[in-house]
Amino acid sequence: MYVGGAWIGAANDKTMRVTNPATGEPLADLPDAGRDDVWKACDEAAKAFPKWAATPGLERGKILRRVYELLTERRDELARLVTEENGKPFEEAKREVAFATGYFSWFAEEARRVYGEIVPPPVPGKRLWVMRQPIGVVAAITPWNFPATMVTRKIAPALAAGCAVVLKPASATPLTALALARICAEAGLPAGVFNVVTGKSSSVIGQVFLDHPAVRKIAFTGSTEVGKRLMAGASAQLKRVSFELGGNAPFIVFDDAELAPAADGGVAIKFLRVAGQSCICANRVYVQESIAEKFIPMFVERVTKLKVAPGFEPGAQIGPLINSEILEKVDALVQGAIKDGARVAAGGRRLGNGAFSTGLYYAPTVLTQVREEMAVAKEEIFGPVAPLMTFKDEAEVIQRSNNTTFGLAAYFYTRDLRRTIRVAEALEYGMVGVNDSTGYTHEIPFGGFKESGLGREGGKQGIEEYMEVKSISIGI
């Protein structure tokens, strides 16, 4: 663990093992933090916060810019760590690290743009100011599917705002976060400003974040179920929260779409992000009835050509799933759909022979004749499975797309400008891609509606999530 500028073990000497999901081989034994360890990390962050908060934004930005430069220099080294602990293909890991690195570049600039306001007073003899100040110590909890991006998207804006951070990365993928802590220290980030605690017990660590009086905000990416529990706990002390939670993203192909780009985009957003283990992956594919006979074979053909392989194998596009629980869930959803009448157009099975015998692999799967009431169409799949359904018209597909408690991301393909505006506005999702399945950038906010989360990450809004607004009235 990295706490207060020092590398320490757990007070109880307990450890946890990190393994490679592609091979099952151990990668490292790390401290398994207990309550006292996490409390200490929060104490160290509280000590470091006042000086860091008082550091001019320009100076904070210079340090973040240096972090960006070091991350860029070591992209391949970090990507190797991502592939080893997460399993995703090496080329995909390199793209992730490059994208994750960009958050430090973006927020290095935003650090100097935290503007206040001068407000015209309603009466003579008064001056009114509005200023923004860092909220305090931030506790961040990140998942395993994007070990680099999920971390930088939280800590870069928090540090830019002047907050101190205690990070709890996923126990399956903590190595990338620890490497980032080392780079931050090398870049000149003061001791205690960024701390990383590792541990298997998310409930114990999360409870410390809720209990410690110095922690003023919790930033979490993970399941909706856990997010609700954290929100309930945070409400007892009115701690600020920002959550990026589950999704059930629709991917809609209208009859006026360009079919080849739509098929390419659908495959990319469904299968080529951590083997479908992403909250923004397409979870339901809707194809207009009049083009189904043309589009579905195009889509299936592309899926059958995807290369499933260990992450370091040249040309690998889909790696292993992260653990056996995810594998079992994915297979149960597929087998349940088949039992209920869905047809397998591609895949539909585990891969366990030969090169796949030591990993947790699932064949890229396309299911047709899927119905809305099937679990595979209602639950977040988190695996390489695309359920295909058809629809008659625009009104129907909008209603079906919105008929979910989730509201993170949605995608649709069309060449009709009027339809673009109508559908983009009607979809109840925080992010909508139109003829674009890779539209998320540092410059725009990331977040969802309904039970998919609260708050935004990225864009100019990202730094505001870590600020308090103070009003000052001066009599003269």
Residue 211 host element (H or E): helix 202-211
Which percentage of the chain shows pLDDT scores above 70?
A: 100
Contact 130, 119 (CB under 8 A): yes
Tokens representing 328 are 């079992």
pLDDT of residue 40: 98
Residue 355 has pLDDT above 80, yes or no: no
Top-level class of domain 2-246+451-475: alpha beta
Structurally, what CATH architecture does the domain formed by 249-403+409-441 represent?
3-Layer(aba) Sandwich (3.40)
- Considering 244, 380, 451, 457, which one is annotated as catalytic? 244
The alpha helices in 305-351, defined as continuous H runs, are: 324-339
Instruction: Give me the chain's average pLDDT, please.
Output: 97
Mean pLDDT in residue range 38-66: 99
Tokens representing 342 are 């869905």
Give the pLDDT confidence of 209-266 residue by residue, as tens digits: 999 999 999 999 999 999 999 999 999 999 999 999 999 999 999 999 999 999 999 9
Q: Does 2-246+451-475 match 249-403+409-441 in CATH topology?
A: no
Distances (CA, A) of 9 to 32, 37, 171, 244, 377: 8, 9, 15, 30, 44
Give the pLDDT confidence of 254-295 residue by residue, as tens digits: 999 999 999 999 999 999 999 999 999 999 999 999 999 999
What residue segments make up the domains of the chain, in order of their start?
2-246+451-475, 249-403+409-441
Q: Is 244 designated active site? A: yes
